[in-house]
Amino acid sequence: MYNLLKGKKGIIFGALDENSIAWKTAERIHEEGGVFVLTNAPASIRMGNIDDLALKTGATVIPADATSVSDLEYLVDQAMIILGGKIDFVLHSIGMSVNVRKGNHYTDQNYDFTEKGWNVSAVSFHKVLQVLYHKDAMNEWGSIVALSYMAAQRVFPDYNDMADNKAFLESIARSFGYFFGKKSKVRVNTISQSPTATKAGHGVKGFKGFITYSENMSPLGNASALDCANYTITLFSDLTRKVTLQNLMHDGGFSNVGVSQEIMEMFE
Ligand code: NAI
């Protein structure tokens, strides 16, 4: 451990169970000396076991639906009271598509579901940023990270409308990051993570094929949830102060490989 986050305070969205990327990140932040408030949607808190994580990391849990501005306002106010001051880091680790859940094909969407999906997966990030911005809740040189996937740039047919949601999310990070940088030197980035075996990951149709394919395509293999947690910590630390408005590929090299030997051999 490097004490990289000693003295830093934050908010972590999206730890559902021990497989969640946010869960691993919370554990690692705790090990690096950071303190934080945990939050998730009320239904997810009932369904998962976030209280175990809270106990382990000394964190308080504040329920908030990330699509509700009033919930977010309450969350940020409470976080600053509990943590005793402004925030240094925020992790947005939230994604959900109702079309994916209901098995609707990309070409046959229910648009009410589509809207719900982009609201939860992308606009919620704008809402988090806007609440933090207007409350002047971030310390200078603070860092905000959201998690994305490469389907924002390239076609993965079974990723469905989440591909569009991720493109929207990445654009919000750039657009809002500009204003947050100007206002208070806060950086905003997205990490584009490898397929990872979590509840959200398993929701993608054909997930096993998907994760095995990218494992075989990536020279370093897929990045795990723990790898993602470690990368996020560097972005929350003072070592990456000038990294902002970026979509950072964290995928074992997958995104720059045309084809790997392993995949070629399957066709020879
Ligand atoms: P997860 O299922 O453990 O986490 C998703 C979280 O979103 C859950 O904690 C859920 O409660 C939360 N959430 C859903 N609706 C919400 C709402 N209205 N308000 C507040 N929270 C809400 O799965 P995972 O994989 O850890 O997902 C975290 C992030 O990583 C997501 O953005 C996901 O798209 C992204 N990601 C995941 C990959 C994977 O293969 N698992 C790959 C690349 C990115």
- 100-108: long-range contacts (C-beta < 8 A, 24 or more apart)? 100/160, 100/161, 100/162, 100/203, 100/204, 100/205, 101/203, 103/205, 104/160, 105/160, 106/157, 106/160, 106/161
Q: How far is the CA of 207 from the centre of ligand 1 (A)?
A: 15
Q: How far is the CA of 258 from the centre of ligand 1 (A)?
A: 28
Report the nearest atom of ligand 1 relative to the CA of 47.
11
Instruction: Please give the ipTM for the structure prediction.
Output: 0.99
What digits encode the pLDDT tens for the residues 3-32?
A: 999 999 999 999 999 999 999 999 999 999
Q: What pLDDT score does 115 carry?
A: 98
CA 171 to chain centre: 14
Tell me the mean pLDDT per 10 residues along the chain, length 268.
96 98 98 98 96 98 98 98 98 98 97 98 99 98 98 96 98 98 98 96 89 97 98 98 98 98 95
- The one-letter code for the residue type at 15 is A
Report how far apart, in Å, the C-alpha atoms of 85 and of each of 3, 46, 91, 140, 187 are. Answer: 20, 29, 18, 12, 19
Q: How far is the CA of 127 from the centre of ligand 1 (A)?
A: 16
Distance, CA of 144 to CA of 138 (rounded, Å): 9
pTM value > 0.95: yes
Q: What pLDDT score does 204 carry?
A: 87
Pocket of ligand 1 (CB under 6 A): 13-14, 16, 20-22, 40-41, 44, 65-67, 93-96, 120, 147-149, 193, 195-196, 198-201
Q: How far is the CA of 167 from the centre of ligand 1 (A)?
A: 16
What digits encode the pLDDT tens for the residues 202-215?
A: 888 889 998 999 99
The 87-92 sheet, strands edge to edge: 60-61, 35-39, 9-13, 87-92, 138-148, 187-193, 247-250
